[in-house]
Chains A and B, each alone.
Chain A
């Protein structure tokens, strides 16, 4: 039973446009959410996080939105750059820590020049 779902295995956008990556979760105990980026042959890299007490967190070109009632979060990348092309994992945890992360399957983002 997958508690964190990324239903789009891939997404392709043009350079300069907005990329929106979506994530849904089923466990209402999750209270901390993270996004990781992974290039081939490298480990995942922490990108941005959000606590359940917030509905938005912004860091440069990256913004994460959390809709608790819908159990949905999204990562917005504006503007998208070719170097953003990677697999993006959504992850969630209980207890506001990264003690144990539950990951989604990932979405492959391709940003075309």
Chain B
């Protein structure tokens, strides 16, 4: 299995809703990432988990709450989002997030989120 699987593929939620995005990989990767990509913009890093511990939070608002229950699974809990949070949310994994070690990410196909 060489894939990163993201569910759901599409999500429409209201500003008062609570929803979660799910990301799963079975490649034994120990680093997992959330990126956000708005239309015609590059992907921007949100969070990095290394060995199931949060190692980077790129000053993301608290209405986004990541969780890494185990080494294969990464969630992004959403609450009280704004319409400007509408974007493609990409999950990625890599064997490690260690510095000095070069690997390309494996990305999932993303969740297209629309906040209404």
Footprint of B on A, CB under 8 Å? 4, 32, 34, 36, 41-47, 49, 51, 89, 95-106
Asked whether any CB of chain A lies closer than 8 Å to the CB of B92, the reply is yes
Roughly how many angstroms separate A45 CA and B58 CA in the complex, as a whole number? Answer: 23
Give residues in B with beta carbon < 8 Å to A.
4, 6, 40-45, 48, 56, 58, 90, 92, 94, 97-110
Bound: A32/B102 CA distance, A: 8
- B94 / chain A contacts, CB cutoff of 8 Å: 98
Q: Which 9 A-B pairs have the closest CB atoms?
A: A46-B104, A43-B107, A103-B42, A95-B99, A97-B99, A43-B109, A44-B107, A42-B109, A43-B108
- Contacts A99-B97, A106-B42: A43 and B92 contacting too (C-beta < 8 A)? yes
Contact of A105 among B42, B98, B107, B110 (CB under 8 A): B42
Partner of B102, one of A45, A51, A102: A51
Q: Which residues of B contact A51 (CB under 8 A)?
A: 102
Q: CB-nearest residue of chain A relative to B112?
A: A41
Quote the shortest CB–CB distance from B94 to chain A (angstroms).
6
Chain B contacts of A36 at CB under 8 A? 104, 107
Nearest Cβ on chain A to B52's Cβ, whole angstroms: 16
Do A96 and B42 form a contact, CB below 8 Å, given A43-B107, A43-B109, A46-B105? no
Can you name 18 A-B pairs with beta carbons within 8 Å?
Answer: A32-B102, A36-B107, A43-B4, A44-B90, A44-B105, A49-B104, A89-B43, A95-B99, A95-B100, A97-B97, A97-B103, A98-B94, A99-B56, A100-B58, A101-B45, A103-B42, A104-B42, A106-B42
